[in-house]
A and B are shown apart, each in its own frame.
Chain A
């Protein structure tokens, strides 16, 4: 029918068909060649990047005792899009043993894009972390059949050989949004050290995560490795760390501090290695692991005795009479006194500072240390500051004051050990002349104004670590190595010389030796060992005085320097001195002969508010 008058219309129909096909080819060209987003979406659809978590580095004590290791742990993750639409939440709550409110809160937290920026309906979100085997045992059996969308992810948690050294070791927790933004190593759900050594050595301990790329079907089922695992990477385990701590010494220190508030710091003077760093109250580090972490953390942070505060590094005290050892060195160095200088003492009748002890008068330097004579150290301090008079506008006096301050601070007092690996130290304070100028006016203060400094009261504030380090400095006769915790890190063994000539130290050492022989420490001498020490009894506004002690032994070749602070316990000689002595005994003889004394220290309670967190 070629002569059909509508024959031409077959061209129109061909044209329509051809036009549609051309339109579709153009559209396909756009979708497949030009637009790149579909390829990326396809990858995120089908490829699951599953992190292979690296086992965290282990932590050992100085003798190779394992302190911190890893235990298997589990996270529960949820993919919102794959969850059952018909409920089952109540059943889920029962299987994992959480209450309904927690479930609802957690779900709304997950879905809140403001706080959970990585949120997507299609990717697994962390629902709960750090669960132990027993927490998930019930859930694990039914998770696939009863709870679509939920999955269990294998992780590791920390575990501890000893229930000790919690503040030193620190703990790990889930990273915050802030951490993720600061360090792109982290992803949501990772753990990182939150405090203590776990925090300081995070980069060593964490190792390196590996990654596995898996293929996932639309129901969320993993069906195999992408490209036969060609792009997968294995995790690298974290570096193990050996500490300077002696765990037996640490345990003894913590046990003795039970029922008391205070701290004990022991340092090896020759190396600056911290042998013990105890703070009380404390807790079993296992309490901050896993699911009960946040609950226990809350309990600890709400305890009025502030167990979370590492008192050894953070508490600041007036050093009291223990400071006289440093004062003696500085007065000798600044030539305010000589080793032979004597001053008169009228006992309790002395002015402006009375003496708390009864002894002969006049006293020499060694006797003054032995007897902790307040008037001697006041007069020595006065002479130190006023040696060159006051000068115009007190200029000469202040210059002398600054010299004194520099010398004191060269013992590591009143400033942080910036080159140390210790976490969150307090600064302490040796007040500056500017501070007094502000308080009293440029000419408004004299030696007598700040007389309390002479006996370690007043504005002088130090931390237990600092005063222990001062003891180590005296033991070393003039220098200290930065106190530190990591035995392997040679960067930390930096020597700091004091501004006091090393020849002056033997007089102070001698005086401290006499404390154990004839003075306030004589009841706590270990037979056969030449011990040096100085007690301190610091009055304060919160009840009984703080009991302090610093010391080192043996005198001729010091192996250990110790500082002990027991808050509101009484005389230095009653609490701090015996504890320091026991620490030295344990470290030097590897055993305790005076079991009765030890028992008394361990069991006595000076503060009934201190709880035991085991």
Chain B
């Protein structure tokens, strides 16, 4: 059932941004993959030529997606999701081991990564579930089922398929949950978890100037003390008690430091003890002033202590290469030959581009294969080297425009299903952009996920096209839903 209206309701602006990104991606692949001797355009030994085939396929997928009735997507979403779970489970059994990952099924000349399609299925299924009657995302109970729908594919991709990067993408849907009414506390806790983790790990090797212990946990504890102080001062509005708290903290620290002259005191544990004291003090203060919610700040402080200690233990239990990846990203260790090699080479390639870049096909770093995965996960290096700061900024602004446009489009949807699905698309694309580019410029650990529409490869291009065009199809139908 195809209405003539669709043609006019298609958001051509988004389609054009999509096309520009695909073309820019192809140019970058061309720049990265053809070597100095090889200059022919249409030789199917080269990836740039193969990518043309994938692009053509993506166009067909886009058109077909637009031709199907919009209700179809909501109707088949559970079935699609179920089939995808089965496919994901079957993948490790059929998969060929490609660089330690069990996520690729190779059929003749074509390699397919079902995990890419799983994003589409999961987004559709969650959107449908959250669109069901009487669903309220702001109750924690109602959040459990979508969370499980999310965690199942995430787990399958992460554990049996060993594809951590693709699995983490699902976590990005937390932004969609937030938009749909999830309490921001979860978001803030997530942010706090990341900050505490980074500080604990990054300064795990930095020894305190006096006594024993490291800066990592101590710094987190000092932050918790400050949180307690601000809480008492600002929310409980008891400045006098806040200063008493600060005074006691300072006194304990001073005594510990003095004792330190004769005896070795582990300042790390002293700081933990101070935070425990602060937590109890704040909780009692809250109860005394009839503000029982205060108990949560104490729970938070104690949980944070346990979390920081576990993080420092966890990091020592990680496999060396995983720990190195994290350490290199946090700047704790500089390892230009090992794990850091890729990131360093990527930075060199981008950094050498300058303002205008070296010109298409003239990048020495990418073309000479210093940068690994230069046409897939590290494709952004080619943009940086050959087109400079102008090129990278242009591409980032294109993505920003696309993402803002997707949010605006989501907000103009008249039904929850379309809006939620729109946010899912936004979140997934945003996560890919943030992690891929962040990794290449050395701000995020090396997590191998592709740059949407840019990276070489049929699976990811087709999956992203499908993901985007389903939303464009839903958007085109918004006028029918009146």
Find B369's partner among A2, A16, A218 (CB 8 Å cutoff): A218
Q: Which of A41-87 contact B (CB under 8 A)?
A: 41-43, 45-47, 81
Q: Which of A195-254 contact B (CB under 8 A)?
A: 215-219, 223-224
Q: Mark A1-29, 1 if CB is under 8 A from B, else 0.
A: 11001110110111011101101110111
Find B438's partner among A10, A24, A25 (CB 8 Å cutoff): A24
Range of interface residues on B (Cβ < 8 Å)? 35 or more
The answer to whether B389 and A24 have CB atoms under 8 Å apart is no
Q: Which of B153-201 contact A (CB under 8 A)?
A: 175, 178-181
Q: Mark B417-450, 1 if CB is under 8 A from A, else 0.
A: 0010001001000100010011001110000000
Given A21-B396, A217-B370: A27 in contact with B441 (beta carbons within 8 A): yes
The answer to whether B351 and A35 have CB atoms under 8 Å apart is yes
The answer to whether A13 and B178 have CB atoms under 8 Å apart is yes
A31 an interface residue at 8 Å Cβ cutoff? Answer: yes
Q: Which of B368-403 contact A (CB under 8 A)?
A: 368-370, 384-385, 388-389, 392-393, 396-397, 399-400, 403
Find A38's partner among B178, B347, B368, B403 (CB 8 Å cutoff): B347
A600 an interface residue at 8 Å Cβ cutoff? Answer: no
The answer to whether B178 and A14 have CB atoms under 8 Å apart is no
Given A42-B349, A217-B370: A13 in contact with B179 (beta carbons within 8 A): yes
The answer to whether A17 and B351 have CB atoms under 8 Å apart is no
- Give the CA-CA distance A45 to B346 in the complex, in Å: 12
In the complex, which residues of chain A have a beta carbon less than 8 angstroms from the beta carbon of B416? 1
- Give the CA-CA distance A18 to B404 in the complex, in Å: 9
In the complex, which residues of chain A have a beta carbon less than 8 angstroms from the beta carbon of B181? 5-6
The answer to whether A46 and B36 have CB atoms under 8 Å apart is no
- Give the CA-CA distance A191 to B441 in the complex, in Å: 44
Q: Which of A18, A43, A218 has the most CB of B within 10 A?
A: A218
In the complex, which residues of chain B have a beta carbon less than 8 angstroms from the beta carbon of A17? 400, 403-404, 407, 426, 430
Q: How far is the CB of B380 from chain A (nearest CB, A)?
A: 10
In the complex, which residues of chain B have a beta carbon less than 8 angstroms from the beta carbon of A435? none
- Give the CA-CA distance A38 to B426 in the complex, in Å: 33
A33 an interface residue at 8 Å Cβ cutoff? Answer: yes
B37 an interface residue at 8 Å Cβ cutoff? Answer: yes
The answer to whether A42 and B351 have CB atoms under 8 Å apart is yes
The answer to whether A46 and B364 have CB atoms under 8 Å apart is yes
The answer to whether A28 and B175 have CB atoms under 8 Å apart is no
In the complex, which residues of chain B have a beta carbon less than 8 angstroms from the beta carbon of A43? 352
Main secondary structure of the interface of B (DSSP, over half): helix
- Give the CA-CA distance A38 to B345 in the complex, in Å: 9
Q: Which of A147-191 contact B (CB under 8 A)?
A: none
A294 an interface residue at 8 Å Cβ cutoff? Answer: no
- Give the CA-CA distance A219 to B35 in the complex, in Å: 14
Given A13-B178, A13-B179, A24-B396: A39 in contact with B351 (beta carbons within 8 A): yes
- Give the CA-CA distance A192 to B396 in the complex, in Å: 55
In the complex, which residues of chain B have a beta carbon less than 8 angstroms from the beta carbon of A39? 351-352, 354
Q: How many chain A residues touch B (Cβ–Cβ < 8 Å)?
A: 43
In the complex, which residues of chain B have a beta carbon less than 8 angstroms from the beta carbon of A42? 348-349, 351-352, 364-365, 385
In the complex, which residues of chain B have a beta carbon less than 8 angstroms from the beta carbon of A32? 350-351, 353-355, 384, 388-389, 392
B411 an interface residue at 8 Å Cβ cutoff? Answer: yes
The answer to whether A38 and B348 have CB atoms under 8 Å apart is yes
- Give the CA-CA distance A20 to B399 in the complex, in Å: 11
Q: How far is the CB of A517 from chain B (nearest CB, A)?
A: 83
Q: How far is the CB of A192 from chain B (nearest CB, A)?
A: 33
Nearest B residue to A5, CB-CB: B181
A37 an interface residue at 8 Å Cβ cutoff? Answer: yes
Q: How far is the CB of B115 from chain A (nearest CB, A)?
A: 24
Q: How far is the CB of B123 from chain A (nearest CB, A)?
A: 16
- Give the CA-CA distance A16 to B433 in the complex, in Å: 13
- Give the CA-CA distance A5 to B178 in the complex, in Å: 12
B47 an interface residue at 8 Å Cβ cutoff? Answer: no
In the complex, which residues of chain A have a beta carbon less than 8 angstroms from the beta carbon of B404? 14, 17-18
A121 an interface residue at 8 Å Cβ cutoff? Answer: yes
Given A45-B365, A218-B369: A6 in contact with B389 (beta carbons within 8 A): no
In the complex, which residues of chain A have a beta carbon less than 8 angstroms from the beta carbon of B180? 6
Nearest B residue to A227, CB-CB: B362
Given A24-B437, A81-B337: A217 in contact with B179 (beta carbons within 8 A): no
- Give the CA-CA distance A38 to B348 in the complex, in Å: 5
Q: How far is the CB of B35 from chain A (nearest CB, A)?
A: 7
B414 an interface residue at 8 Å Cβ cutoff? Answer: yes
CB-based closest 5 A-B pairs: A38-B351, A42-B352, A46-B364, A217-B368, A32-B389
Known A24-B441, A39-B354; 7 more pairs at CB < 8 Å: A1-B419, A17-B404, A28-B392, A28-B393, A31-B347, A32-B388, A41-B351
Seen from chain A, the residues whose Cβ lies within 8 Å of a Cβ on chain B are 1-2, 5-7, 9-10, 12-14, 16-18, 20-21, 23-25, 27-29, 31-33, 35, 37-39, 41-43, 45-47, 81, 121, 215-219, 223-224
Instruction: Give 11 CB contacts A-B under 8 Å.
Output: A1-B413, A1-B419, A24-B438, A28-B389, A31-B347, A32-B354, A41-B352, A43-B352, A46-B365, A217-B370, A223-B368
